[in-house]
A and B are shown apart, each in its own frame.
Chain A
Amino acid sequence: MRYLFLFAALLATRLFGSAQESLYQSGNGETAIYLRQSTTAVNLGDSKASVAYINRTNIHPFSWGLEAYATANTGVASLFASTQPKAPEGGGSGTFVRHYILAKRPVVGAGAGSAKEDWLLVDGGYGRSSFYIYPTNATPSTSTAKTSFERFRTILAYNYFAGGDKILGIAVGAERRNNLSNLKATSQQTVVVAGAPGSTSSIVTTQAGYYGNYKVYIAAPIYTDALFYLPGKVTVPGFDNRVGVDLFTRSDFAAANRGSAGGIGIFLFKKSDPLSSIGGLTASYDGTNFQVSLTAGICFSK
């Protein structure tokens, strides 16, 4: 399933070739930095592929964008973390952006200087997934109905670009989530043909699902990112790419699921286009679990 997903994601990048997804993501695909770059992205840590489009004209203060995404069952590249099950999910989101909130437009024709640009955006999203839930203490049944989950998200984000080498971002909002990643990925077996008495063989069908107490809740996420580009002459040996370092926090301030994590990401970018990431490695710690994830991106400009 994972390899099929990756193949589909790679194929999708060929088919669509235009998107806006930010690749400055922690392993679970969350970010506070919304780039306006056209890219198609694959986040291996989250098994997520996305394509998007953004519409912007430089002299207009407003722009907008659309994104569609699909996720596979479980991240394929969480290197040291315990496997957190996820159900396949599809969805989309839209962003509406206002540019130059605190920063001022540059005086056109002036000489070299310190660039400043900021943007405030509203990001609204919807996703849907279906899966089987096997509640704790419930007797296994062959007639378990599929559970559907609808994810809703509204995020308000502010980003600030300054000095040619820094992009800062903060995002706050609300999101309808479930606790699937805390449940145990299991499969229920149903015997179709029982083996002969004394035999250990039988024919069974299996149905993948999740075991535990399933909950749906409203999260109040707050994300922060501080992305710093290293000078162009600083490269990773063997690569000729630009290098960026992202310091990030990911928190949920909803009372029922209050928690916070922080981490660092190191990303490689195209030398000619330092907003297009070709991949990165992120490490985060939430006070209990340490997770290192690989993020790989394939970025196209239209």
Chain B
Amino acid sequence: MPAITFKCAISSTMVSYINLQSKPVALHQSGTNWTGSLTLNVADTLEIAYTVTGITDSPWTVDVTVDCPGGTPAKIFSASGNIPHGGSVGDTKTVKVPANPCAPKDKS
């Protein structure tokens, strides 16, 4: 599989972190949005670890996408919720990455 550039976007009130295949992604802050990207050679799975901090009860989102020629990015991973008591939420997930994330999905 060729190298893929994964775009990461986290929305939260305080600082947040995301690692892809255990490599940290540099996220630049713009208001409540933290965005960055990382190019990786992956087999067919991608390990995503994230930690989001913020004000309790405020909303957060994590999105990992791949840009596609058509304009609409292909969604690789998405999670959202409200910051729990304590101010931090995190998880580690392994998701499948299609050989061509931008290929039209088979509707059959």
Contacts and interface: CB of A to CB of B under 8 A. Distances in A.
Interface of A: 36-38, 54, 56-60, 99, 105-115, 117, 161-165, 229, 231-233, 242, 271-275, 300-302
B51 A165 contact: no
Interface residues of B, number: 39
Contacts of A233: 57
Interface of B: 13-19, 24, 26-34, 36, 49-51, 53-59, 82-92
A229 B56 contact: yes
Contacts of B18: 108
Main secondary structure, interface of A, reads loop
Contact of A109 (B15, B19, B26, B55): B19
Pairs of residues from A and B, 10 with the lowest C-beta to C-beta distance, nearest first: A164-B87, A301-B31, A109-B49, A232-B57, A115-B87, A164-B56, A115-B88, A109-B92, A274-B55, A115-B53
A273 B58 contact: yes
A164 B29 contact: no
A162 B8 CA distance: 26
A275 B19 CA distance: 25
Nearest to A167: B55
Nearest to A111: B90
A54 B29 contact: yes
A117 B15 contact: yes
13 contacts: A37-B32, A38-B30, A57-B26, A57-B28, A59-B17, A106-B17, A108-B19, A111-B91, A112-B84, A161-B14, A162-B87, A273-B13, A302-B30
Nearest to B10: A58
Contact of A232 (B16, B36, B56, B87): B56
Contact of A106 (B57, B90, B91): B90
Given A108-B24, A109-B92, A164 B30 contact: no
Contacts of A36: 29
Contacts of B49: 108-109
Given A37-B32, A301-B32, A109 B13 contact: no
Nearest to A58: B27
A164 B27 contact: no
A117 B26 CA distance: 18
A108 B88 contact: no
A231 B57 contact: yes
A58 B26 contact: yes
A36 B50 CA distance: 21
